Amino acid sequence: MKAIVQRRYGSPDVLEFTDIDQPTPGDGEVLVRVYAASVNARDWHVLRGDPYIARPSADLGLRRPNVTTAGTDFAGRVEAVGSSVTELKVGDDVYGEAPRAFAEYLVVPMNRVAVKPANLTYEQAAAIPLAANTALIGLRDVANVQPGQRILINGASGGVGSFTVQIAKAMGAEVTGVCSTRNVEFVRSLGADEVIDYTKSDFSRSDRKYDVLLDLVGNRSLTALRRPLVRRGTLVLSGGGLFSGGSFFGPVGLIVRAKLSAPFVSQQLKLLTAVISKDSLATLRDLAESGKLDPVVDRTYPLAATADAIRHLESGHARAKVVITV
């Protein structure tokens, strides 16, 4: 089968479009024929091996990636099921999040896959898992957002940000998004009540106060991020943006400072870590099928041009999601 393989760290030029063996599902797994996959900031960080401090991890390796087939998000059709699988059957349209998604076929554990939203194309469904799950976990589980709360989203036009705006509105929050001039109308179209153009106004210096601030960029100091919060507000740090890379620590430095400061401030300083699950995929499917979550696809690329898709993402000009068609 065709796949995108990464054998070393570097620019998108290190990605190979090549043939590899088709996988076979084991117990509790399904084989998916992938029709679409999406690109995330995570793929950029894995490609670069950035930040360096994260290299001794499951996907990254000290000198080369541990997982050589790239990609995470996918949508497709079940081709085979392993023993003990009863929730899905051959022919089901599915979506989810699992390593090695930039390939024609993918083996997925049952806790990482679910029936895809019926009203979405494969391309739209593939845009959801990692980014929308991050938004859902950040708002619902980490920040415990309540109806009527004022939410500020730094990085509202990106992959995670575009979903965060929509999910926050679905939860009844009053949403302010921060983005560049070219994306102001786009963020407003997602449902934001207010949009701040960071090229013209510094949200950290505004007199307006917020109950929750989600930082999806990692380009501000901890002091600047805390300043617009109410006294007992909540700061949620994602650290998954493109602009926090290129160093030994990357966003880890900001996260460490937040952890060290947390016991001494009235505000809650929290780290966003999002793990995909069948339950969260089901929740996101319900939001999509009810019309409250509309994935926006900026551009699509064929599998062979995955390197170009990642170049577009790391240019910083991608709006919402970039999708690979397989």
Q: Give the mean pLDDT of 31-52.
A: 86
Burial of 50: CB neighbours in 10 Å, binned 0-12, 13-18, 19+:
buried
Query: Shortest CA distance to 15 belongs to which of 95, 70, 83?
Result: 70
Other residues' Cβ atoms within 10 Å of the Cβ of residue 121: 16
- Put residue 16 in one of left, alpha, beta given phi > 0 → left and psi -120 to 50 → alpha: beta
Mean pLDDT of the chain: 90
283: number of Cβ within 10 Å: 18
pLDDT score, position 58: 52
Q: Domain for residue 252, yes or no?
A: yes
Look at residue 53 and tell me whether its pLDDT is greater than 90.
Answer: no
Q: What gap in Å lies between CA 73 and CA 260, rounded to an integer?
A: 33
Residue 178's domain is classified under what CATH number?
Answer: 3.40.50.720
- Are residues 265 and 135 located together in one domain of the fold? yes
Q: What percent of the chain has pLDDT over 90?
A: 75
pTM of the shown model? 0.91
pLDDT-based confidence at residue 24 (cuts at 50, 70, 90)? very high
Q: Is residue 31 domain-shared with residue 152, that is, in the same domain?
A: no
Q: Kindly state whether residues 239 and 253 are assigned to the same domain.
A: yes
On whether both 119 and 145 belong to a single domain, the answer is: no
- The last residue of one of the domains, among 227, 255, 271, is 271
Q: How far apart are CA 106 and CA 72, in angstroms?
A: 10
Looking at the fold, whether 138 and 261 belong to one and the same domain comes out as yes
Q: Please tell me the predicted confidence (pLDDT) of residue 239.
A: 62
Whether residue 207 is found in the same domain as residue 265: yes
Count of domains observed in the chain: 2
Instruction: Judge whether 109 lies within some domain.
Output: yes
How much is the pLDDT for 254?
A: 61
For range 2-10, the mean pLDDT: 93
* 114, 176: one domain: no
Q: What is the pLDDT of residues 148-188, one digit of tens each?
A: 999 999 999 999 999 999 999 999 999 999 999 999 999 99
List, for residues 118-154, the tens digit of each pLDDT value: 999 999 999 999 999 999 999 999 999 999 999 999 9
* CA nearest neighbour of 125 among 77, 194, 90: 77
For position 218, what pLDDT does the model report?
A: 82
* Domain assignment of residue 65, yes or no: yes
Write out the residue range of the structural domain in which residue 267 sits: 131-271
Same domain for 149 and 27, yes or no, is no
